[in-house]
Amino acid sequence: MNLVIQSLDPIADTHLKPLTALACSQQTERADAGRVLRLRGADTLQRPDIDTYCRAHRLDYAFIDPTLRLSNFGLLAMDMDSTLITIECIDEIADFCGLKTEVAAITEESMRGEIKDFNESLARRVAMLKGLDASALERVYEERLRLSPGAKTMLAGAKAAGLKTLLVSGGFTFFTEKLQARLGLDFTQAID
């Protein structure tokens, strides 16, 4: 298997030796300006140790079958907030009400699994935004919404391989529809 490790920032050289040792890999490659590290021939039995290391250093990782190609798939489905884009839209909307800290705390509770019912979490956050002018949505989109590093490259690769693209969000259609038009995404699914 290949072990692919990714970070928003370039992966420090100090991570190479421990990750190579944990994965029992003999070949490493860097990509995307050092934000992606591929370790070929990784030992999946080391997954718990790799998981512990990556969590401690805030690195994302995945084991990938080296025989698979993008063309083996038909759909690329991706989440919007803090995945395709760098922000949590609802937290940024709340900032216009002076409630970012309170709304972000509920978002974090939900992401940690402390609030099991997503609908409850969303209802609590949206209720705090009552009375906010709709122009705040446009301001968030124009002033704060940024694509995650590598997003355009990923989408171009998916399209070149013939994949359809789906953007999903527990957020609002306002943002998913704007991103669909901007990026040429095939499908979106979000809350109305």
Separation CA 155–CA 143 (nearest Å): 23
Class of residue 61 by CB neighbours under 10 A (exposed 0-12, middle 13-18, buried 19+): buried
Angle ∠(142,144,145) on CA atoms, nearest 5:
80
In this structure, are residues 56 and 29 in contact, taking their beta carbons and an 8 Å threshold?
A: no
Instruction: Look up 81 and say whether it is catalytic.
Output: yes
Instruction: Look up 91 and say whether it is catalytic.
Output: no
In this structure, are residues 175 and 134 in contact, taking their beta carbons and an 8 Å threshold?
A: no
Which of the following is catalytic: 9, 51, 60, 79?
Answer: 79
In this structure, are residues 29 and 5 in contact, taking their beta carbons and an 8 Å threshold?
A: no
**Letter for the amino acid at 159?**
K
Which of the following is catalytic: 81, 91, 95, 133?
Answer: 81
Residues acting as catalytic residues: 79, 81
